[in-house]
Each structure stands twice: as C-alpha cells, then as structure tokens.
Amino acid sequence: MRKGGRLTPTQLRRGLDDLENLWRGIDSHAVSDALLAKAAESARAHSLRAYDAVHLSGALSFAAGEELEVACWDKELREAARKHGFALIPKHL
C-alpha cells in the first residue's frame, strides 16, 4: 500500500480514511446490457470511444430528473455531455 515509501504510515491511514468517507457519498451503477446498448448508441451518435460512451450512458442513467455535473477532460466526451445538457467540470479546458 505504501509503494516506494512515499507515504508515512500516518499519511496512508489518513488517505484511506478520506477515501472511505468519499466512497460512502458516491452512487454507483452496475454495467447492464441496457447500459451497454445505450453506450453503443452514444458511441455511434457522438463518435465516442467505447469507455467514453459507457461513462456518458452511466451519467445519463443517473441524471433522470437531477442536475448533474460531468467531470472530464476528453473533448469528444465533453461535447457529447454538453449536448445532453450536463454542466461540465472544469468549465474550460
């Protein structure tokens, strides 16, 4: 866990505690056949790579009735997310 000795035991413990607290606040979605079908549509419609299309499809499935922000640095994925009405983080690349 402390590869290369870059973290002290205290830093590692704090980092793991922070990660555990962050993880509790994250909603996750299983990758289902339906999500993969939407991803295939998104890949074709927006010229996205497969994993970017899966991310967009996952965001779309979470977004039903909610305002979500999409954090990404890929230009094509950002443009597709913008077209679907997502706010982007960061605002500008």
pLDDT, residue 17, reads 93
Q: What single-letter DSSP state applies at residue 47?
A: T
Give Rg (Cα) of the chain. 17
pLDDT, residue 53, reads 96
Q: Is 73 exposed, middle or buried, given 0-12, 13-18 or 19+ CB atoms closer than 10 A?
A: exposed
Residue 48 has pLDDT above 80, yes or no: yes
Mean pLDDT on 24-42: 89
CA distance linking residue 45 with residue 39, whole number of Å: 10
**Res. 81 pLDDT band, cuts 50 70 90:** very high
Token look-up 């922070």 returns: 18
Q: Which residues pair with 88 in a beta bridge?
A: 70
pLDDT, residue 41, reads 95
CB atoms within 10 A of CB 19: 10
pLDDT, residue 93, reads 86
pLDDT, residue 2, reads 61
pLDDT, residue 1, reads 55
pLDDT, residue 68, reads 83
